[in-house]
Amino acid sequence: MAITNRYEFVYFFDVTNGNPNGDPDAGNMPRLDPDSSKGLVTDVCLKRKIRNFVELTEEGHPGFEIYVKEKGILNLQNKKAYEALSITPEPKKLPKDEAKAREVTAWMCANFFDVRTFGAVMTTEVNSGQVRGPVQLAFAKSIDPIIPLELSITRMAVTTEKEAEAQSGGNRTMGRKHIVPYGLYRVHGFVSAKLSEKTGFSDDDLAKLWQALTLMFEHDRSAARGEMAARKLVVFKHADALGSAPAHLLFDRVKVERVSGERDTPATTFSDYRIVLDTNGLDALGVTVEEKF
């Protein structure tokens, strides 16, 4: 059963000596807003981590397959719906029978967590339709400007015998590594109950989303990402599916204050900040709020 309440949420995470989201157009340097020098993390990056967490924790459980995954072949993913429903696919076309076309798309929503959560454009050679997902994320932006560092690294081993002979004098292959010494990032999220009606996004799916946001960095460790941690999740719940307050007014109630260090220099730890939530008057708006952690 689809959720019946609209939600918005504010999510904070930080990074220490790591690269939270490299930019392939800039040599994999941490993404930056050129106007403010604040760090950026794309919604695609965060959704990837959510997908990976769900795949890790729900592997083999019906309804929790992942549509967009590493080395996944989308045509084969789409074909699963046709095989399950005993329908022969036509190249690049949905079934002419509208009922069957809806059935194909509904099957994809029911079986793939990320399709019914984030939506998907499944109009490949094997066409399974398009889905607009109820859960959307904005770009994450750091609270303060960040100062990315580029570090040189070396390796002791070589790839070929020729390299070994060339490096007999002691030179080793050089590499570059980009890090953010510290950055606290904030991102806004939206959960539409009305769109959930179309995809079947349920309360169980919502609970899995909150769990993923809480724990996904714990299962995403790598040398490149340093130490990343989820710091706070503030969830606004409306009394009904349409909601009764604009999202931006709710987001404005969550403020970040600098409590230590110089305000014109980057913070060095999460304890340099304090997150303040204003709950005054929320009941009158028909909105409740919960701090997940």
Domain boundaries, the chain: 1-42+139-293, 43-132
What 3-state DSSP class applies to 239?
A: coil
The confidence score (pLDDT) of residue 168 equals 60
The mean predicted confidence, pLDDT, of the chain is: 92
The confidence score (pLDDT) of residue 262 equals 67
Could you tell me if 199 and 115 are in contact, meaning their C-beta atoms sit under 8 angstroms apart? yes
Amino acid at 141: K
Question: How far is residue 62 CA from its own chain's centroid?
Answer: 22
The confidence score (pLDDT) of residue 173 equals 65
| Residue 260 pLDDT grade (very low, low, confident, very high; cuts 50, 70, 90) | confident
Instruction: Count CB atoms within 10 A of the CB of residue 108.
Output: 23
pLDDT over 70 for what percent of the chain? 95
Tokens matching residue 122: 């499944």
The confidence score (pLDDT) of residue 154 equals 80
Average the pLDDT over 68-92 and give the result.
Answer: 93
Question: In the predicted model, is pLDDT for residue 160 greater than 80?
Answer: no
Q: Model's pTM, two decimal places?
A: 0.92
CA distance 11 to 49: 14
Question: In the predicted model, is pLDDT for residue 169 greater than 60?
Answer: no
Question: In the predicted model, is pLDDT for residue 263 greater than 80?
Answer: no
pLDDT over 90 for what percent of the chain? 80
